[in-house]
Structure 1
Amino acid sequence: MMKTEVTGTDLELPPGAKVGIIAGGGSLPVEIARALARQGKSPFVVMAAGEVDRVSDFDSYEQTTLMLEDLGSLLPTLKNHHVTHLVTAGHITRRPRLSAMRLNLGLLAWVPTLLVGVSRGDDSVLKLFVRRIERGGIKVVGAHEIVPELVAAEGTLTKAAPRKSDWRDIEAAHAAAKAIGALDIGQAAVAVGGRTIALEGIEGTDGLLERTRQLRGHGRLAGRTRGVLVKCAKPGQELRADLPSIGPQTVEAAHAAGLAGIAVEAGRSLILEGPKVVARANALGLFIVGLPAAEPVHGS
């Protein structure tokens, strides 16, 4: 599949278009729903059962709740509600339990995706998911197309800026994040003292930062200060389904882990609740910087 380039431009929906949102946890699906409502395109929200933590924020929208194990009914449900475009947003913390799925014709169409999901990484699954949805006649769009104002800008976004030593950490963590991304493992890495000390795995960015916090008192990290979290897209990633993002909790966790700042790819990452993120980073003395997506990382 060709790599999707994020431009941060508004999505032009044709007359009569209806957008469905597959909503997981966090603020992103809420921000997308509100943006669509402001445009006069009230969405149809499919809440992933057990994953959504802001259920009441969807009260004013047409909605349903879907068990992950009922994946076979997803396309018929979208069709029954006249959905023409679909966006996925928010955290899904688990995959469907194959043993709990009800066998039907709808589910059989998803078997290749499910089998890949058992043995391969998230991006492989998301690419197949997008392909299956679009074969069903529904166009998949990215969150960045609906809420382009959330796309990270290039440069330093906070009062604090990276020091020369921080740029060494950024280079190390950026290279490591791209390496594990190429293996479809994760999107983030932490570097301290010019070397990578932790990589994102299945536990996500919050888990990565918690491990970093715990490592502070051990071994060669003891007594070291600063450090950087870098989060970026996987090479060739399906950006319409899983754009890297940071939010207020990322800032809090990075500070708790003793890091000096966060770097993300400009134009290919989202900053959720942006004003709150920047304000909190400023209050804690952390920097947030947007890196050029298609160029080598370098400092001044």
Structure 2
Amino acid sequence: MDRASKRTELASFLRVRRSRLAPSSVGLPSGTRRRTPGLRREEVALLAGVGVSWYTWLEQGRDIHVSEGLLERLSQALDLDHVERSHLFELAQGRPPPPSRRSDAPTEVVSDMLQHAIDAHPNPVVVSTTRWDVLALNTPAEALWGDRRGMNSLCFMFEENPLQPRTPEASAHARNMVARFRYEAGRAADRAPFDQLASELGKRSPEFRALWDAHEVVATPEGAKVVHHPAVGDIELDHIVLLHVEPDGRMLRVTIYTPRPGVSAARARIAYAAHVTD
């Protein structure tokens, strides 16, 4: 969607949301001379702390600058939920909103439906935030990596066995991870948590620091890696990354791993079974 189309969509979105709010629901008198339902433009402007003319231009789809602070105030004035707030930011700024600071902000867990979906998958699945903090995984993933909930995937990659030389395949995977992380950091509404993690990890891992300083970016949401399992040996895995929007509006990364046919698939099945019987 181009900028003009987004401005038109934003104008319609604001008008519809305004029409659905009763004045009494936001502490305003209903009055007796309302010709249309919902709030008036001047009432939304008052609640959001902006001029009536400026808000009118926004509803007319004019090309004007919209700050993050104003969008937050509009979200509150129009009583938007998490998904609607995200939609507002996407239309106005072309990117997701920063993490919500409201008291009803979601906790860092996944929905029951998403957990059920990954539990039913026969191969490893890992769910993480866009900063790659692991939130959930299924039993096959635990069989290969252990319970990584609460860990960050970059930290796991660069701080596990840091003195062990990497194979060419592992080195390529590490380089790809850092390049994809930099790409996602550039797309984030709030980049500070990404840069903080990169700074801290760079102090602990010279390998990560060198790759981060190379400023490579990769957007391809797929790749390959080799996992060394102590009981069965090396398992070659292909993986793809899917983006999932939770009911509360959070964007999560769902990484699905598939063992390559033949030896790797057979070894993976053995590792899964051994983990279940432990």
Q: TM-score, normalised by structure 2?
A: 0.28
The answer to which structure, 1 or 2, has the higher relative contact order (CA under 8 A, 6+ apart) is 1
Q: TM-score, normalised by structure 1?
A: 0.27
Which has the larger share of helix? 2
Task: Point out the structure with max Rg over C-alpha.
Answer: 2
